[in-house]
């Protein structure tokens, strides 16, 4: 899946562009980073379009790279242009990177999650069966994303 190579530039460059991970960090960044890195949970970022959710995700990726995480252990996928099942994304990821996501630590970032049908059930299944995955999702239709997160991800998300 060529889309994965396009969306995950750090696999080749070993860094993320400053255009994606803007240098200015909002006050909430530290709290988001600490929650994501410190707890086994699903980090859910919601809000209106164009408020900076994707920038926060890219800043988290930049932070992981700065902390020495292998770039190929960081997987980002945006459902903005292409809707694909999460398990198929992970399979394509393994074919490209040779990372065994079933047994190795992988940081999984899924952007515009609301475009994936029945997303909360699919994310719940990943979370419940693959404890090595650190999952961050974002969605623009915030009320819908929050409602589904509350309904299906109870006790699993921040």
What per-residue confidence (pLDDT) applies to 156? 46
Listed by start position, the domains of the chain span: 51-158
- Would you state the pLDDT for residue 42? 92
pLDDT at position 21 is 83
51-75: per-residue pLDDT in tens? Answer: 789 999 999 999 999 999 999 999 9
Both tokens of 52, joined, read 């900076």
Band (pLDDT 50/70/90 cuts) for residue 82 is confident
Fold of 51-158: Rossmann fold (3.40.50)
| Mean predicted confidence (pLDDT) in 111-132 | 93
Reading the block at residue 48, the tokens are: 């209106």
**What pTM value is reported for the model?**
0.88
Closest CA to 114 of 48, 29, 21: 48
For 95, which DSSP code? H
Tokens 């069966």 locate to 129
């Amino acid at each position: 899946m060529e889309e994965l190579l396009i969306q995950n530039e750090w696999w080749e460059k070993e860094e993320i562009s400053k255009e994606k991970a803007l240098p200015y960090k909002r006050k909430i960044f530290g709290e988001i980073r600490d929650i994501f890195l410190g707890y086994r949970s699903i980090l859910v970022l919601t809000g209106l379009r164009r408020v900076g959710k994707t920038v926060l995700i890219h800043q988290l990726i930049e932070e992981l790279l700065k902390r020495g995480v292998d770039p190929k252990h960081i997987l980002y996928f945006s459902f903005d242009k292409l809707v694909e099942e999460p398990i198929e994304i992970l399979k394509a990821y393994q074919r490209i990177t040779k990372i065994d996501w079933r047994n190795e630590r992988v940081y999984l970032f899924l952007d515009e999650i609301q475009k994936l049908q029945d997303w909360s059930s699919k994310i719940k299944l990943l979370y419940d069966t693959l404890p090595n995955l650190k999952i961050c999702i974002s969605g623009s239709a915030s009320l819908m994303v929050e409602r589904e997160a509350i309904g299906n991800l109870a006790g699993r998300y921040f």
